[in-house]
Amino acid sequence: MFGYYFDLALRSLRRNKALTALMVLAIALGIGASMTTLTVLHVLSGDPLPGRSGSLYYPQIDPRDSQGYLPGKSKPMDQVTWIDGMNLLEAKRADRQALMTGGSVAVQPGNSTLDPFYEAARYSTADFFPMFGVPFQYGHAWDAADDGAHARVAVISSQLDAKLFGGGDSTDKTLRLDGTAFRIVGVIGDWNPNPHFYDLNRKSYNENEGVFVPLSTSQDLGMAHDGSVNCWGNGGGGSTPIHSSPCVWLQFWVQLDTPAKAVEYKAFLVHYSEQQKALGRFGRPPNVQLRDVMQWLDYNMVVPDDVRLQTGLAFGFLLVCLVNTVGLMLAKFLRRAGELGVRRALGASRRALFAQLLVESGVIGLMGGIGGLLLALAGLWLVRRQPAEYAALAHLDPAMLLATFLLALAASLLAGLLPAWRACQITPALQLKSN
């Protein structure tokens, strides 16, 4: 029966090509606009580490003095000091934990055909890789013993590996960074979490580091720090504060495998803050937060307000297009009153006529979906040409491709409900008499 209705729909659409084109165009414009903005919203608000983000937490404490403190209103700091970071790291109260910061290093290629260049770097402790599920194409990560030994070891990205060594296994080869020789122990595979959730201070959606070295090693060698620094009191600030400065400039992440452990860890943070206040380091009452990855992204409002506004406006435009489509379908279906009346007189039920007209609406939706997909691809191409930081992420993935056609089909069926119902109310006797 569906095949019969589908054939009737095609015949009907071919009989009035101009009206069909208008309906398809209305659906395509609405779908194209809404899917362009919805795709951008999707890639920005998606989970950067599916399956892991629920057990990864970002602890926040407030080590500042009492100046400017407002009870109940002051927020904890977004980063930690060197002293607090090392204290929390050495406490080992989490399943895994990583203390880190961003940097920039001068890479001096052994290949004479390449000039020296700067590469974004990450200085971290060893748990960074297993905690965030970083896959390896070659080799492996360094371990805690390398952290303690301040080892001259490095992990590089596959992109840097391809640039320097042609994409082969470069483990155990030498890499010169800032004039110091490092031994490559691993090459990262396909790993590109977006946004850059573990260090939002870099304000980057698509720039990931090419070089990873132990945090202890980076501090020994005075490697350049790249990120925000927030100081108070007699803090000197600077691009890389000295370790005793009252400045926050490091990120600290923990892995807590159960909700009970998360509750215990938050209690530990409160106790730690109380201890530090008693020692005179903290000037404020305990003010701690423990947010998982998605909560951390929401707290930092990673999705720009203009993207949310554009998505709302685009779906408003889709609603306008659907209203116009309803009017066009109503006109089309009512013009076929004679045909529908004859079918009713020959024994077709109202349910059969309703199904026939909805199939026709669905065909219009599929055609509009194809047009909307093309418009969405064009819209995303234009987004990628914008100067916004998130622009490079604007690509249609398989999930959004399926969503495009489902939205077009649902929209057209919704638009066809009223016209189809209205057309089915036609009295056969009146139509037969008029014909």
Extents of the domains making up the chain = 2-47+303-434, 62-287
Can you tell me the distance from the alpha carbon of 125 to that of 266, in angstroms, rounded to the nearest whole number?
22
Global pTM reads: 0.77
Backbone φ and ψ of 364, nearest 5°: -60, -40
**What is the enclosing helix (H) or strand (E) of 255?**
strand 251-255
Please report the pLDDT score of residue 67 as a whole number. Answer: 86
Q: Which pair of tokens denotes residue 355? A: 């199904």
Statement: residue 58 has pLDDT above 70: yes
Inter-residue contact 155 to 141 (CB < 8 Å) = yes
Residue pLDDT, tens place only, 126-141: 999 999 999 999 999 9
pLDDT for 84 equals 96
Give the closest residue to 363 by CA, choosing from 324, 409, 318.
409
Number of helices and strands (H, E) in the chain?
Answer: 14, 13
| Closest by CA position to 126, among listed 158, 91, 154, 106 | 154
Question: Other CB atoms closer than 10 Å to residue 341's CB: what's the count?
Answer: 21
CA–CA separation, 435 vs 425, rounded Å? 18
253 in Cβ contact with 153 (< 8 Å): no
Q: What per-residue confidence (pLDDT) applies to 205?
A: 61
Residue 191 has pLDDT above 80, yes or no: yes
Lowest mean pLDDT among 54-68, 240-254, 318-332: 318-332
Which of 120-134, 163-177, 187-201 comes out lowest in average pLDDT? 187-201
